[in-house]
Every structure is written in structure tokens, then in C-alpha cells.
Chains A and B, each alone.
Chain A
Amino acid sequence: MNLAMLKPGEHGKITKIGAIGQIKRRLMDMGVLVGEKVKVEKIAPLGDPIEVTIKNYNLSLRKKEAEGISVEVAK
């Protein structure tokens, strides 16, 4: 299960960040860390990118990047 698969309104907990190098570091700088809770808010009108809430703020990222972030769906 990865972040790109969550539907708007669904919550998850990050279990692994598969992205490497610059993208991984950038994600971590933005608070995308293992163990962090994340909620998918919206999908852009054209289907990409997506908007998520993490660490109490809104972040947008492309699905390609979101695919590298493994999550565990929270009920």
C-alpha cells in the first residue's frame, strides 16, 4: 500500500520511504517521516498531483513521488 493509493479523506501511517537521494531528503525536510500520520485531502482536477495533510500543514506532491511512500491505512 502506498500513499498514491489512498483516497481523499483516508488516513495512513508512513511505514517506509522508498524514494532515494534528493527526493527522499526533500520529503524528510518537509516532515514526511516514517511513523508520521498522513491524510490525503484532495486529488487535483486533472488527476495529479495530490494534496495531503502532514504535521499540521498541507503538502502537495506528484503521484510518482507518493508511490514511493509506503503507508499503513488507519481505520
Chain B
Amino acid sequence: MSLESGVKSLELKETERKTITVAVAGNPNSGKSTLINAIAGTRLYVGNWPGVTVEKKSASLEYEGTNITLVDLPGTYSLSPYTQEEIIARDYLVHEKPDAIINVVDATNLERNLYLTVQLLELGIPVVMALNIHDEAVSKGYKIDIKTMEDILGIAVIPTVATKKTGLNDLLKAVTNNTSARHPKKLNYGSDIESAASAVEGQIKNGYPQLLEKYPLRWLAFKLMEGDSHVMEEINIGDYSFIEEAAKHLKKAHGDDVESIMADERYALASGLTHEVLKKPEFRKMELTEKIDNIVLNRFLGIPIFLAAMWVVFKLTFDFSAPFADWIDAMTTGPFKRWAEAVLGFIHAPAWTASLATDGIIAGVGFVIVFVPVIFAMMFFITFLEGSGYMARAAFVMDRAMHAIGLHGKSFIPMLLGFGCNVPAIYATRVLENPRDKALTSLLIPLMSCGARLPVYVVFIGAFFTAYAGTVLWSLYVMGIALAVLMGIIFKRTLFKGESPMFIMELPPYRMPSFRSLMIHTWEKGKHFLIKAGTYILAVSILVWFLLNLPWGVENKKDSYLGKMGQVIAPVLEPIGFGNWEAASSLVSGLIAKEIVVGTMGEIYVQKKDEKKELPALTDDLKEIGISFANAVKDSASNMISTFGIASISSEESTEEKEERSPLKDVIKNKFTPLSAYAFITFVLLYMPCVVVAIAMRQEFGTWKWFGIAFAYQMVLAWGVALMIYQGGKILGIGG
């Protein structure tokens, strides 16, 4: 029977069904995600664990009359209380008391995976082992004696291949059968540990019986012996002297560090079991992973290969998504806007509603959707890098350089994506496990000059610096990077003082991630962004519309709220060379996205001519939508191909030519000097992240704190650097 038919086939009466909760635990890289995706598919719900930024996946499904709630625990190597993931996993297991645990074990790496299994068994919760990646183990010539393993551990062991959906049916069967009947065996930790543990257990039973309901007894005894501060704080019984007493002999025989003694013993159990059940071929051939690593991690080739790989990822992400983003942009500013205007005109709605609908709501919605292609593309490639095993190599190659500014090797990737767009870059920080690394990386990402800042540079460079356009543009990118290095060092010494997190990381074997898993991850992330971030962005976009158009019937932009804000802010900008309300208002509107600075300047500086447009018919519009979408697909495909060939810069050239004759440039030439223009674009490079970045940060961290810090330091930095440029330039008499 296939998995699908097993899951769907039964229609029992509600009353006959039982409901069980099953936690899924396993090492990172054990194929746990793929297994969950294979079982749950689209029923998967992705959220966050309460209060933290770690992803929580769960799914509800039914299997042969049993309702199963699957809860995916974070991938961990152990249940010690040292990482956020480990604390989440064990708190869930101890406090939520699931009916069973599916322990996903990498069959090609038994010993280290069994270390976690041994700890899971301590909890006394029924365990079913998914002996995953079984096909690879078989092809390596490993013989695993499943029967013996089941006998020793007292649990069901089911060989699975999650990528091919093999064994999942048996796994679910074992889970639904065994939860009440089968309990894992108590493993023997040796007489010294056992006698100490039973003494502690006795003391707990007599002295603190209230704890028996809340904690598995044996597990609690172990944790108290280990001196687990997390548990001690939780149970809060004050007097722990009975533990000292009980562990006296143990410590005398083995030394003071009970944590180490326990870790040693657990590993001894894991390796004893491995020797018992696993037979490996005598002759080991050089494995594919080794062959790839000999090239990819090579002394001389490592970095060039890494940079080339990153270039490809960057190009693919943005080249794939750009035509779709342009298409969405064209749709919302074109046909949709016209239709809304037509409908509102038809029902004789007041003019301001048309403006609100088109410039506020439709523009806002368009603004949200424009990000979807790039976020989908980014998630796809990031998931691929992680799933294939290359992400760990990237971290290995880059760690030395990134560590110098207080970051982790993996930070390089989100930072790089930042040059395309800061928003997917912030989301990409989830490749970093450590909250500190994540926060520091996110703080520095906005200094990477994103694509939205380019239109601002282009206008100003076109007006003032045509002779050395390339150099000026290059100087801005380099300035962003240099300041990121500087700020990284400063943050490392101030905000993130103390020990930098350790770098103890597995380099997993290369594996081809399953397409299904890739798609599910990509889709989940994109959906998440649309729903969660979308609402915020829409709200802000409408807010800015009101700022621009209130009070009602405002004629001169100077009298709108945005104009008034500009007038208030202008004096602050005086020392850095552009203390006028027009520049200030434009900068405020850049909150939405930095390219809007140009749009607002256009609106403010250049008198709008009323263009009489011939309205196209609805059928023409529909035809245009279809044709332009087809073109977007074509452009996207040819972009992807050209990534691997000669980069096509023809399209960029043509847009620059178009800008050449804009009246905005003439106005800017009168309002700015070359010096104040350079100060201005520097300010645009550095000042505050845009609202979408703000929301992405809020989403990733669950608090506005990090955005607040980014906002504050960037404002100070932007003003300070612009001041140095403008005043310094004036003193030196350059470009004034």
C-alpha cells in the first residue's frame, strides 16, 4: 500500500479515532526535514517556536484511523542545554510529553547519531527510529543488523529513504502501533553511574514527590547529577546537597566533572551498539565527498571556486527574478491602475478615492508582490546550498576573513545577497544558527549598497559626474563595504562584547536535495513573506500616501504633511550640504524604498504636466498582460543562460540613455553642487534601512530592537560621513 492511500483511505467515525502527538527528533543533516516533507507535504505548517526565531514545523494528518500531529524539533546533536535549539527540543519533550518520538538517524553515520538516541531513551517516551539514508548505507556496503538493534534498544527500527519516500508507510505504522505498548529499554550506564542515579531517584521520590508528575524520574536524576543549571533553576528546590552525597562515590572514582562522565558513557553506549550492529566493508574506497572536497576546499582553488559559486547564485537569484519583478511593476502601475480609475470614475467616486486606490493601495500591493520573485529565487538557492552540503564548505572557506569582523563564515552569503536587495539578505541570515551572528550580520547588511539605491546614484552621477561615473559609483560600493568592516569591529567590541561564538561545525557529505523539499521550503518562505510582511508594507504605503496628500486638497507639496516634515528636518541637513525641504522630504519618502527618493524628487522639483493619455481598451490591456508575462518568462530564461555566458549589459545601457534627457537632472544641477551631490548620495547609501528591511528584521527576530539599533546607528553614520565629505570638501575647496 502506498503512503498516500494509507493516509487518505480511511474514513472512520470520529469517535473511533485516537489522536497522538509525535515529535520528530534527529541530528542536523540526517534528512529529518526531507522526511517530514515527504510525510506531511503541503499539510506542513511553518511557524516559530514561542519567543524565539527558530522555525517550528508541524503537520496534522491521519493514518489508518489515527490522527497524528507531527511536531518537528530543531535538528540537534544532543539534548544538552547549550544551544537555543537543544533547549527548545528538550523543553518540548519534557514538558509537552508527546506520545512518541520519531528519531531520524543517518544510517551512514550511526555512532554520532545514536548519541542523541541514547539521550532520547532517557526520557522514557516511546521511540521509533527512522534509519534514514538507508540506501546510501547499503551502497557503501554497510550491513546494519536491524533486529539486534531493536532488541538492544527495545524500540522499533524502520529503514527509510526519505528522498524516495521509502519506508514511510512502515514508519507511520510503527508509530501508530507502538505508542502505548512498547517502551524503550533502560540502558545500563555502568554500576557507578547507576547506583548514584538510583540514590538520587530515591531522594527525589521521598523528598520532592511533586516533581514526579512533571519530569521523567531517571532523566531528572541524570540532569541533577550533571549539574544542569537550566533544570535546577526550573525545579527550584534550594537544597541540592543530597545530589553531592549520592554522587560522592561516582566523583571519587571518575573525577569531578559528571557532565563529562555522562557524555563519555553515552558515547560508549552509542559506539558499543554501533560495533554490535554495523558491519563495514574492509576496503574503503575514496568517496565522492572526499573527491569534491579535495577540489572545493583546495588551498588555492577554494576561494576562487567559492567566489565563482557565489557569483552564479547572485546572478541567478536576481536575473531570474528581475523580469518578473518588472512585469509585476508594469502591471500595477499600468492596467490595474487604469482599471481602478475607470471603475471609480464610473461610479462617480470622489477623486481622492481614486488617488488612494491607485497611488496608495494598488501601488502598495504591487510593492509587496514585486519582492516575491526575488524571495522565492533566493530561498530556492539558499535551500539548495544548505541541502547539498556546500553551505558548510562556504563557511569553512570564508570563516577566517569573516571572523576578523566578528562574523561567522556563513555570514558572507547574506551580506553578498545584500548587494542585490537587503530584504532577501535579511531572510537569508537564517542560515546562521547562533542568534548573535544573526543579529550582527543583519545590522551590517543595510550597508551593502542594494539595487534600489542605484537609481538615485544614476540620477546624480548623470547630473554631475559623467566624466568619472564608474569611479564615483565604485567609490560608493567600496565605502559601504569599508564601513561594514569598521562597524563590525565596533559592534564586536561593544554591543556583542564577550566571547565570540564557537565554530564547531559538521561538514556533511554532499547530497542532492530532493526537489520536493526544495519547493516546499521555497513556497513556505514566499507565502510567509506575502502574508506577514505584506500586511505591514501595505499599511506603511497607505500611510505615506496620506502624508503626501493630507491635509485634504493640498495643492503645493510643500504644504503636505510630508513637505512639512521636510521643512522640520531641513535645518539638520544644512551642515551636510542639502538643507532644503525638497531634499529632506525626498529622503523621508525613501523610507518605503530608496529608489522612491528619485520619484519624490521628480514630483517635487519638476512641475507635472497633465498628459492626456489615450486609455487602451480592456482587451488590449489583457493582451498586453499576457504578452508581457511571456516576455518576462523569456527574459528570465535568457538571463539565466547569459549568466553562464557573456554577461549582457545592453539593457542597463539603454535605461541609462533614457535617463539622460530628464528635466529632473537640470533642476538638480541648479539645486546641488558636485560636493553636496556626493554628500547626498553618500547619505542615501548609508541612512536607515527601508521599511521592507525593517519588517523583515522584525519578522526574523520577533522584536523591533535590531531594526531600532540599525536605524539609529545608520542615521548617525550617514550624517557623520556626509558631514566629513561636505565640510572636508569645502575646506579643501573641492567641488564647491
Contacts and interface: CB of A to CB of B under 8 A. Distances in A.
Interface of A: 22-31, 33-34, 41-49, 51, 55-62, 65
A45 B303 contact: yes
Contacts of B289: 58
B298 interface: yes
B503 A29 contact: no
Interface in B489-533: 502-508
A33 B503 CA distance: 17
- The 4 A-B pairs of least Cβ separation, nearest first, read A46-B400, A29-B78, A45-B302, A58-B507
12 contacts: A26-B502, A28-B260, A42-B293, A44-B302, A44-B400, A45-B298, A49-B396, A55-B271, A57-B506, A58-B289, A62-B399, A62-B503
B582 interface: no
B505 A59 contact: yes
Contacts of A30: 77, 112, 504, 506
Given A24-B260, A44-B302, A62-B503, 10 more contacts: A25-B80, A30-B112, A33-B263, A51-B396, A55-B112, A59-B505, A60-B395, A61-B503, A62-B399, A65-B504
A51 B506 CA distance: 9
A22 B502 contact: yes
Contacts of A48: 399-400, 403
Contact of A47 (B77, B392, B400, B506): B400
B80 A51 contact: no
- Interface residues of chain B: helix, strand, loop or mixed (majority): helix
A65 B502 contact: yes
A59 B502 CA distance: 13
B280 to A, nearest CB: 9
- Interface residues of chain A: helix, strand, loop or mixed (majority): mixed
Nearest to B116: A29
B507 A28 contact: no
A45 B399 contact: no
B507 A62 contact: no
A44 B297 contact: yes
Contacts of A22: 82, 502
Contacts of A25: 80, 82, 259, 263
Contacts of B561: none
Nearest to A28: B263
B503 A65 contact: yes
Which of B112, B298, B396, B504 is the most central at the interface, judged by chain A CB atoms within 10 Å of its CB? Answer: B504
A60 B392 contact: yes
Contact of B264 (A33, A56, A60, A61): A33
B300 interface: yes
Contacts of A47: 400
A26 B293 contact: no
B502 A23 contact: yes
B275 to A, nearest CB: 12
A13 B303 CA distance: 31
Interface in B63-87: 77-78, 80, 82
Interface in B387-423: 392, 395-401, 403
B400 A29 contact: no
B267 interface: yes
B381 to A, nearest CB: 23
A45 B267 CA distance: 33
Interface in B298-334: 298-300, 302-303
Interface string B99-132: 0000000000101100100000000000000000
A58 B112 CA distance: 11
Contacts of B82: 22, 25-26, 29
A56 B109 contact: yes
Nearest to A47: B400
A31 B115 contact: yes
Given A25-B80, A44-B396, A45-B299, A62 B403 contact: yes
Contacts of B109: 56-57
A48 B254 CA distance: 35
Contacts of B302: 44-45
Nearest to B226: A25
Nearest to A41: B293
Nearest to A57: B109
A29 B115 contact: yes
Nearest to B392: A60
A27 B504 CA distance: 7
A26 B506 CA distance: 12
A58 B78 CA distance: 17
Nearest to B504: A61
Nearest to B505: A60
A31 B267 contact: yes
Contacts of A34: 264
A45 B505 contact: no
A34 B257 CA distance: 13
B507 to A, nearest CB: 4
A28 B80 CA distance: 11
Contacts of B263: 25, 28-29, 33
A65 B399 CA distance: 14
A11 to B, nearest CB: 15
A23 B302 CA distance: 28
Contacts of B271: 55
Nearest to B303: A45
Nearest to B503: A62
A19 to B, nearest CB: 9
B592 to A, nearest CB: 40
A31 B302 CA distance: 27
A50 to B, nearest CB: 9
Contact of B80 (A29, A33, A62, A65): A29
A61 B504 CA distance: 5
A44 B301 CA distance: 11
Contacts of A49: 396, 399-400, 503
Which of B260, B502, B506, B508 is the most central at the interface, judged by chain A CB atoms within 10 Å of its CB? Answer: B502
B87 to A, nearest CB: 13
Given A49-B399, A61-B504, A62-B403, A31 B112 contact: yes
Contacts of A41: 293
Contact of A59 (B260, B298, B401, B504): B504
Contacts of A62: 399, 403, 502-503
A61 B508 CA distance: 14
Contacts of A51: 297, 396, 507
